[in-house]
Amino acid sequence: MKTMTPPDPTRRGAIFGFAAATAVSTGGTSSAGAADKLPIVTVLGDSITAGLGLPARDALPAQLQVALDRMGVKAAVRGAGVSGDTSGGGLARVDFSVSAETAVCVVALGGNDLLQGADPARTKANLKRIIEKLKARRIRVVLAGVRAPPLIGASYARQFTGLYPALARETGVVFHPDFVTGVVGAQRLMQRDGIHPNAAGARVIAERLAPTVASALRTTIPVHSANRL
């Protein structure tokens, strides 16, 4: 996840050298285009969503499209990733980056907050406001969790990791834990920079995310819950 300001190299090394032991297996590769009249799934994120270093066909949005197609889930996936984006950056652009036609939005932000040592309370507040904005537009939300390695500081890691499930409970959105756990830190799933997933890594993330997105697509938003916000 490309940062907008140079992060602490010790923090960077700790984060991206973590979790190799939790690596998962990969599946096949293919791509699919979005069809008219299908429910739209938008992935709001940073460089992982943007597919930095990868051709579009290998990036996460295309891989998620393939995974959903294989499950027989009819949807069209759109990427809304900006390299270097923090939760604050996502909040600033959520109104225009997530189209009105979106049925489900995957909010996959916070990795750059972690790299920059951001206050977990601020990250949580930004993500909560993003969720509120999406729910007010009757868009279902999947919140992708980020797990911080304890090597960067046990207390900070605990606070940062914990903000995601807590926020999902508070807002009632679908929670997808450990978005990149098992990929980041696994050399065979990463590009040479050691930061961004390669095509195989993006495929793993997509295949693990697809069932959660499929579940969200089947969920109906009660009118009263949208009107509260």
Determine if the pTM surpasses 0.75: yes
Q: Is 69 a catalytic residue?
A: no
Residue 227 falls inside a structural domain: no
Q: Say how many domains are in the chain.
A: 1
Residue 4 falls inside a structural domain: no
Q: For residue 74, what pLDDT is reported?
A: 96
For the chain, what percent of residues have pLDDT higher than 90? 71
| Three-point CA angle 125, 182, 186, nearest 5° | 120
CATH code, domain carrying 159: 3.40.50.1110
Per-residue confidence band for 214, with pLDDT thresholds at 50, 70 and 90 = very high
Taking the C-alpha atoms of residue 139 and residue 102, their distance in angstroms, rounded to an integer, is 6
Give the DSSP H/E element, type plus range, for residue 80. strand 76-81
State the average pLDDT for the chain.
Answer: 85
Q: Read off the pLDDT of each residue in 205-225 and give the average, rounded to a whole number.
A: 82
Q: For residue 185, what pLDDT is reported?
A: 79
Residue 13 falls inside a structural domain: no
Of 45-49, 56-60, 176-180, the least confident? 176-180
Q: Is 58 a catalytic residue?
A: no
Q: How confident is the model over 75-120, as pLDDT tens digits?
A: 999 999 999 999 999 999 999 999 999 999 999 999 999 999 999 9
Active-site residue identified among 47, 83, 87, 97: 47
Q: Is 47 a catalytic residue?
A: yes
154: containing domain: 35-218
